[in-house]
Structure 1
């Protein structure tokens, strides 16, 4: 078993470097756009570009890999992402940056998909759960490290964009030198909204709301902290508080959802996310502690909703449909993530930076109402017949292939 994990080491190293670079670039782009004086609506457009590119990357990468192979696609996408990261610092322009964000999102989707499909190919039914757990630990840890890389230089300068490009370039090395056998091309991501809605309207609504809220949080959250008068250290701590609290809470909430009606846990998580948003809106201005506590509360509840929604959908689906259903829900999340950064800046412009969390609270409250409606319309799946919950964060459809539930 240890040998198998060591054999995956090069892929885990590449994914950690990429995730750290991607986390840094996302937060850096947001705060740099604000420093450059972009209007909030323009920043929303720029940040939404990443999610549009990510959807396109999930849809197009499998065919690219089939045509020229994993290593060539990985190298090409890394070059695109690294070059785009450098161009951000050369010319601050709304439409140029939007195009660059589309390219970056497209590239990162392909890079993550290749690594995740590779990890899946080297996993077995016996170790999928352990492999996924290690990948999730790397995922959350690298995202946190990426936030604190902000402290290495002034966001108004060139250095941090250069650091992102260096990280992306270095991530090629472990993959290029790996001796692990090349996997099959990743599966195509297909979106069948009618089929998804028939399986679980609540899961579809939940994943869309997660996109609307978390897309806004990742894109505009750093600007919220900036406009409260804080610098890079507080931005990194605020975003990291949400990441780490979300990572810590997903498993306990998931275990609870395995023994009671999963919809009620999803509804309770939505209530918690709405209350955390309302708390940040009302109390975040008072102190650093209030902001960090609010961010942690938001992470605890809001970051768990996607995994709960995906698990609920698969309680109603056939086991062989697991990857297709989860991948479809991921694309629904992506659509919401495009819309969230476009909608939320107008609300902040009208009502101030704290209104960002008034917006997220309203979206989560709407999900509570819809969840209660669906609970009244459909009986629950008995606890003994539910799929076991597995910690999930929306990355690419390929990650669901080495989820242990896909091997049932």
Structure 2
């Protein structure tokens, strides 16, 4: 286990700081926005803006990474996200906040791409499960800690935004200082949602529906709690309990779906979450413990919807198509999360704060009805035909983690051109200095294998001098 985790410790630490800042900001903004007098629609726009940026980051983030490399792209995205976190209290208005939130969503999607492609690159077939499981545990744990960090300072304090910025900034330190080599250039995935819908409609609808619900919960869950008369600190604890319930519910529901039709497990979880949602919609401020238990139960039944949908999609996916399917499921989740907060805002405006969970109940029932229709139209896969549930390949931590390595020859994958060769780098160096190039028979591999105590540049200097050039000595070069 230690040998499997050691090469990616810096990446795990960096992602932990990043996700802690993400969790803090996700809980802080709805609460602060409510105190600033933002309307339900304005708060809904904040949630939608984040996921618009997130989807844009999923689509265009790989090109940012291709241009700059993993480490520099990570540093740039952390810098922009950290700046956005500090900009919120400087320009308090729904429009500016939506813009900052969109930028933050783009940065987070890019950071997920960097972290998870790095982990996939470092993992082998024998260590992939251990590496990804460690990543999922770090992700769940640090997001929860970030949510609870809201309780450290009053919501009105600038310190809340400063802490979010600090956490994001610290994420760059272990990545920038790592002596581990960067991963290979990230592959660009071609999305085909229509293909997924034709092959597994239940997974398509399940992933989109999960976004419709979770996008609304992230955007309005804290506001729902404070509307009952509880404090902002209590709202943060409630959101953490929902998240913990969702994290705990992932594995048992996933394993249960290995032995039964995954669609039946999805429907059962949706019906159970509907019951919890209806009870929460009628909740009053009389019993905090009851509210906490209902939030935990709702999270345990509703949050694993994404994982079950992803696992169902993987069952009908060939191993070489895993990357495309995983990325498409994530994209559908993001699309649903854009729409969900806006619809929830409209329902809450007319039905009150409890309308948030009324909306969730209606969505879950509609999803369950659709999947029941699909169960009648298509027979279930046998246990032998299904792949085992893997929490590290289906967890909704933000990026497309796959249980298989990237197949560079697959037609749906676009592999970028490799970076400049050693020859072109040395040639450029010598041409810039104004010295003649080594002849065509020069062996560049020998140049890189410099004798002990010499730098590769010194070896090149010797080769150039043998070719008739006059390379300045080391003292002249340094001056």
Q: Give the TM-score category using the shorter length.
A: over 0.9
Shift of 1:404: 5.5
Please name the residue that 2:259 is paired with. Answer: 259
Equivalences for residues 6-405 of structure 1 within 5 A: 6-391=6-391, 392-400=394-402, 403=403
SS of the residue aligned with 1:155?
A: coil
Shift of 1:237: 1.3
Q: Deviations over 1:282-311 (max 9, x none)?
A: 235442112111111111111111111111
Q: Distance in 2 between matches of 1:284 and 1:50?
A: 30
Shift of 1:127: 1.2
Shift of 1:189: 4.1
Whichever structure has more helix as a proportion of its residues is 1
Q: Distance in 1 between matches of 2:221 and 2:189?
A: 29
Q: Distance in 2 between matches of 1:317 and 1:404?
A: 12
Q: Distance in 2 between matches of 1:274 and 1:396?
A: 25
Give the unaligned 5+ runs of structure 2. Answer: 408-479
Q: Distance in 2 between matches of 1:208 and 1:69?
A: 31
What TM-score do you get using the length of structure 1 for normalisation? 0.96
Aligned residues: 405
- Contact 1:347–1:359 (Cα < 8 Å) also in 2: yes
- Contact 1:58–1:396 (Cα < 8 Å) also in 2: no
SS of the residue aligned with 1:381?
A: coil
Q: Distance in 1 between matches of 2:138 and 2:359?
A: 31
Q: Distance in 1 between matches of 2:189 and 2:144?
A: 28
Shift of 1:188: 2.4
354-363 or 223-232, which deviates more: 223-232
Shift of 1:186: 2.6
SS of the residue aligned with 2:188?
A: coil
Q: Distance in 2 between matches of 1:210 and 1:274?
A: 13
Q: Distance in 1 between matches of 2:69 and 2:12?
A: 20
Specify which structure has the bigger relative contact order, considering alpha-carbon pairs within 8 angstroms and separated by 6 or more residues.
Answer: 1
Q: Deviations over 1:342-386 (max 9, x none)?
A: 110111111111110010011001111011000001111101110
Q: Distance in 1 between matches of 2:283 and 2:68?
A: 53
Shift of 1:264: 0.6
Give the unaligned 5+ runs of structure 1. Answer: none
Q: Distance in 2 between matches of 1:110 and 1:266?
A: 30
What TM-score do you get using the length of structure 2 for normalisation? 0.82
Shift of 1:397: 4.2
Please name the residue that 1:4 is paired with. Answer: 4
Q: Distance in 2 between matches of 1:135 and 1:270?
A: 27
SS of the residue aligned with 1:51?
A: helix
Q: Deviations over 1:56-94 (max 9, x none)?
A: 111111111111211111111111101111010111111
Shift of 1:7: 2.0
Q: Distance in 2 between matches of 1:143 and 1:4?
A: 23
170-179 or 66-75, which deviates more: 66-75
Q: Deviations over 1:26-78 (max 9, x none)?
A: 11111111110011101111221110001111111111111121111111111
Say which one has the larger Rg: 2
SS of the residue aligned with 2:401?
A: helix
